[in-house]
Chain A
Amino acid sequence: MTDIQNQTNKAGWPTNGANKILAKRHRTERNFRRLGLTAILIAMALLATLLVSIVGKGYSAFIQTTITLDINFEQEILDPKDTRSPETLKAASYGSVIRNALRTEFPEVKSRIELRRLFGLISKGAVQELRNAVLANPKLIGTTRAFELTASDDVDMFIKGYISRDVVEQDRRIKNNEIVWIDRLQNQNAIQTRFNTRFFTGGDSREPEVAGILGAMVGSLYTLFITFIISFPIGVMSAIYLEEFAPKNKLTDVIEVNINNLAAVPSIVFGLLGVALFLNVAHLPRSAPLVGGLTLALMTLPTIIIAARASIRAVPGSIRNAALGLGASKQQAVFHHVLPLSLPGILTGTIIGLSQALGETAPLLMIGMVAFIVDIPGGVTDPATVLPVQIFLWADSPERAFVEKTSGAIMVLLSFLVFMNAAAVLLRKKFEQRW
């Protein structure tokens, strides 16, 4: 009787012994799922911390404090000979105009030390603002107008609440008398906070309140452009040759291993190679996007080759056979069929390689793109810097106001990266081929 039962149990539903194994299996499966979930949660928490801290520090970089003053565009100071020639207007002392306006606003301030502090409320970049306004409209000369001027970085920090009134005076960048002046200006509604357009339209500066990232953005653009036009065609062609045409022998094996190795070489080594090759041998201009782009192209090349080879290999052999069987030449088979089918994958790999290049700092430090450059580069041979190097430079600056600029620049860089990677994903989704 029992024997028969046991036998039925064996053939049918699990017995007690098997139940234990099953329970264990379910348990490990649950644990594994929990483990994965935990890993993802930790990763997301870290990412959220990063984003919150960057955005929390950086959002104020997009806001700027201005002070409105009644500016008397005195003929005596700006254009004593009444020529209105651009040269005179460019060279005129706009600083005196601003100082006069501050003196009129605060007539009680007399001592030299106090006056220096008073003048310090306005950014040194304000001179440029007035000059531009007068050059654009010389009729301003001889009139008195309310004019909005950029405040100095300390005022900006104070208004944004990064400098506290409660700190002892000698530890505070903004002194007591300055607080009195600022309060008075605020009561007159002369202090405004505005969207900081200059952050996106200006080049770098020693004055944080006028420093912008356009120079670095343009530099990054030129550099990436050079990287792309060098590494994309070379990378894709190498991949096609290696996958479709090269004989499979020891030599191609060696090449394959070396390409994989190159992809893992630290980027600083590519920087050194760039110095040796492009600066010392080819004598290309230092600090230029051309050299930066070439150096980053060396670095991006293996990534593109590996991605392109993988996606070329993913095209089924039956497609090649079909084309060859119809009398297409090998090249026709590759360019008419294999390449179009593998292009989405190749482009995805290229974009990922380029976004790596966009975030790369070390090799560019080696070729001198770390220089302090105020002008927006006008071409690939002009000295320039790039976004990540700009972040590095600002993070290294002592002024408190550069902290927010650093985070602001990181936000800009991150949004570029997110944009590029999203493009890569969309591209893959859109052109994904089902066989």
Chain B
Amino acid sequence: MEPIISAKNVSVYYGKKQALKGVNLDIPENQITALIGPSGCGKSTFLRCLNRMNDTIEGCRVEGDIIVDGKDIYDPQIDEVYLRARVGMVFQKPNPFPKSIYDNVAYAPRIHGLARNKDELDNMVLASLEKAGLLAEVQDRLHEIGTSLSGGQQQRLCIARALAAQPDIILMDEPCSALDPIATAKVEELIEELRASYTIIIVTHSMQQAARISQQTAFFHLGEIVEVGKTEQVFTSPQDSRTQGYITGRFG
């Protein structure tokens, strides 16, 4: 199967410091790819290359090619704003806008003009909340402020907000690291459900999480990919001694 994302020899520099050193990675469609590795290994940097969020960081330079759906996204003709609508992102800390739950989810359809009228917008908001498994909990308080929800609900609201932009790919940067185990379980369940319609790339510090939900795992170390493969294989019979050391908890 043709990978939906294909990174070729990607290097990233923050000023003079090189954060990624020639990373190659293919990401298959409708699968969950987990990026694991110790802090500062470049996995978040790599994730942020995929929707060009690194562009917003002063002094950041990206080299190499990233092909998403057949197009090089660092081509000057590509509009990064359009790219980010297709490649959604969920952040480490839930960051709903301090607006109503409805307005949070409706924001992307509004700025991208996805809905022709109020009814369509309503449907889109409800559908996104439904997909994020939040609808039942917030149905009768859509106009309450989004920040009034609990942490786990806020994160699912952020996922709903990303889904409303109708992306094909969703990037998740440690989406559960600020959540308690119950909220984490709910979000993980949600991520697995979303796999049917979206390609998901998730950065995680939790090896168990990577093992539980992902189909492909890439182990990053010091700005390089040490090992990539089927999750089962990486966790049960790692080829590289560093991978083995990391997943068994000997370092990292």
Contacts and interface: CB of A to CB of B under 8 A. Distances in A.
Contacts of B89: 321, 325
Contacts of A326: 84-85, 88, 107-108, 111, 161-162, 165
A319 interface: yes
Interface string B83-109: 111001101010111100000000110
Contacts of B162: 325-326
Interface residues of B, number: 26
A318 B162 CA distance: 14
Interface string A143-164: 0000000000000000000000
A434 B89 CA distance: 24
Contacts of B93: 318
Interface in B56-96: 56, 58, 81-85, 88-89, 91, 93, 95-96
Contacts of A324: 53, 56, 84
Contacts of B88: 325-326
Contacts, number: 65
B98 A433 contact: yes
A328 B111 contact: yes
Residue with the greatest number of chain B CB neighbours at <10 A, chosen from A316, A321, A325, A328 = A325
B20 interface: no
Interface string A398-435: 00000000000000000000000000000000000111
B231 interface: no
Give the size range of A's interface with the partner. Answer: 20 to 34
B147 interface: yes
Interface string A323-356: 1111111101000110001000000000000000
A160 to B, nearest CB: 57
A322 interface: yes
A321 B95 contact: yes
A334 to B, nearest CB: 12
A248 interface: yes
A329 B112 CA distance: 10
B121 interface: no
23 contacts: A316-B95, A319-B95, A320-B56, A321-B53, A321-B56, A321-B89, A321-B95, A322-B91, A322-B97, A322-B161, A324-B53, A324-B56, A325-B51, A325-B53, A326-B108, A326-B111, A326-B161, A326-B162, A326-B165, A327-B85, A327-B108, A328-B81, A332-B111
Interface of A: 247-248, 316, 318-330, 332, 336-337, 341, 433-435
Given A319-B98, A325-B88, 12 more contacts: A318-B93, A321-B53, A321-B91, A323-B107, A326-B84, A327-B82, A327-B85, A327-B108, A327-B112, A336-B111, A341-B98, A434-B147
Interface of B: 51, 53, 56, 58, 81-85, 88-89, 91, 93, 95-98, 107-108, 111-112, 147, 158, 161-162, 165
